[in-house]
Structure 1
């Protein structure tokens, strides 16, 4: 007996869709989206909307009256032209660069030195390491107020100590001299940021296999050669995280500068963060304040991209 296919039909097997496995895959995908959706909504509400609103505001004439009338006419690039033509913005950009670079270099160098020091086990290492965390735990405003008292040119402990040690002949105007105030702010920020660098780098050092150091010792490598050829390469991903996170937190510092110097003297410690605060909440020109805020966001985004690229290259090397 032979089977004859009807015209327009085929005897080939047609896969059946909508089976149990297909339904299970659909439910799994839906479940994954249910977990992701709250994070996406949170990012859109608390990051996406403020970012878009800030960009729009930078092209508007936004004043306190706008909050009552709702009228914020677009003025094109007027806000941007005024900000870029303001010498204070140019100066603050340079101050921000010096403040960030000085802070990152000091915090990282001292934090790495302390991390290496504490990686060698000795008595009372734990309590001493815990005490060094105090600058990181104290609110930044409190730290700034304390250091403002310590650096006072007349009654400060720092000048008194340096004078008694015959290191200086006359009091140093730490916070009232335009040539010294920014350096003082950098030193205070280094003191605050050392514990963060130490903790993260110390954790990275603990993850380096001891066998590598033993192999280096057998090959006759000294302490410096071992540090350069073993410790630093193995610590590279942690160093990347520390530097990028340090940059992201330092570039937008506001409370430390305001409590320590208030942006003075003679605007010598004005940074992008303080200029944003001054334009928005002192001069009440929210449009120009939004422009400086967008510059800060752009700088942070550039370093975020560099961070992701560095991490991707590290992961590629590991594979």
Structure 2
């Protein structure tokens, strides 16, 4: 009896390890099938001559670094990269600032605050293409509601070419994306604010700290893990946006709103050079992976410091 018990105990670590792997296996298979395989295929495609003819002949010969060389020699890549960075940074700053302001505002809890928060969630719940189509009508230079309002209040007489001017179009796309992303930032930051102990604010008030000092010394430091999550997830979703830009401007005018996402679409589905499109896609993957690693390191640092 004792020998059987000892054998059972000896097997138990192996059995527990087997059970752990059995529970993890479905997730691993899912990741390999829907993330690993497409990623490997995309990398391989960037080194192949992959065109519409490939779908009929099945031939996609390797062409070495030709695709990479052609993409990096294209001056549009540099413009798309910097416009992607401007679009991403501008969107994140606007979304985070306004989202934080609304989260702090609603944390005071007043009548109908829940209803107002629910209404503010609508831009986030509506499909992005629908939002883009609506804003395209709003920003129409001749018949848009926005220009009509500006003319009514005397701020503009000729109408602003929101989506038809190369100097204004990127700003317009950023403003629309800020409008769409505010609810996400507000909801996550509002949840983080609810976790801050009220005793800290009471102690700050007894010490004579004003609202701004309380925000910078208590609220923001306590929200650091939440802020990290919001900014990293916001970056990874914004840097690859495609549908919003396509629906608003199509990458124009004069490529002034061309981003890495739209450049991937243009190379793959307009020029029909899937190999070069895969190259730009890989660049986006690398950028997202870098920020994912930074997020994991920041999260590990926060856990190590006991925050």
TM-score by length of 1: 0.94
Matched, 1:163 2:158: no
Q: What per-residue deviation string (whole Å, max 9, x for no partner) do you get for residues 131-150 of structure 1?
A: 00000010000000000000
Which structure 1 residue ranges, 4+ long, deviate > 6 Å from structure 2?
15-18
Equivalent residue in structure 2 for 1:91, among 79, 82, 85 = 79
Shift of 1:25: 2.0
Q: Partner of 1:65 in structure 2? A: 53
Matched, 1:246 2:234: yes
Matched, 1:194 2:182: yes
Alpha-carbon RMSD: 1.3
Q: Partner of 1:301 in structure 2? A: 289
Equivalent residue in structure 2 for 1:122, among 110, 118, 127 = 110
Q: What per-residue deviation string (whole Å, max 9, x for no partner) do you get for residues 208-231 of structure 1?
A: 011111111111111111100000
Equivalent residue in structure 2 for 1:81, among 69, 90, 93 = 69
Q: SS at the partner of 1:19?
A: helix
Q: How many residues align?
A: 305
CA distance in 2, matches of 1:24, 1:305: 35
Shift of 1:105: 0.2
Shift of 1:16: 10
CA distance in 2, matches of 1:232, 1:238: 10
CA distance in 2, matches of 1:57, 1:69: 16
CA distance in 1, matches of 2:238, 2:13: 46
Shift of 1:24: 2.0
CA distance in 2, matches of 1:145, 1:192: 13
- Structure 1: give runs of 5+ residues left out of the alignment: 1-14
Q: Partner of 1:24 in structure 2? A: 12
Shift of 1:97: 0.4
CA distance in 2, matches of 1:243, 1:213: 25
CA distance in 2, matches of 1:111, 1:121: 16
Q: Partner of 1:107 in structure 2? A: 95
Name which of structure 1's ranges 188-197 and 119-128 shifts more when overlaid on structure 2.
119-128
CA distance in 2, matches of 1:168, 1:90: 34
Q: SS at the partner of 1:318?
A: coil
CA distance in 2, matches of 1:108, 1:240: 11
Equivalent residue in structure 1 for 2:121, among 126, 133, 140 = 133
CA distance in 1, matches of 2:5, 2:158: 88
Matched, 1:214 2:185: no
Shift of 1:112: 0.1
Indicate the structure (1 or 2) with the bigger Cα radius of gyration.
1
Q: SS at the partner of 1:166?
A: coil
- Structure 2: give runs of 5+ residues left out of the alignment: none
CA distance in 1, matches of 2:109, 2:185: 19
Equivalent residue in structure 1 for 2:275, among 284, 287, 292 = 287
Matched, 1:153 2:135: no
CA distance in 2, matches of 1:244, 1:120: 27
Q: SS at the partner of 1:48?
A: helix
Q: SS at the partner of 1:75?
A: coil
TM-score by length of 2: 0.97
Q: Partner of 1:8 in structure 2? A: none
Q: What per-residue deviation string (whole Å, max 9, x for no partner) do you get for residues 77-133 of structure 1?
A: 110010001011111001100000000000000000000000001111111111000
Aligned ranges 1:165-180 → 2 under 5 Å = 165-180=153-168
Q: Partner of 1:35 in structure 2? A: 23
Q: SS at the partner of 1:152?
A: coil
CA distance in 1, matches of 2:268, 2:161: 30
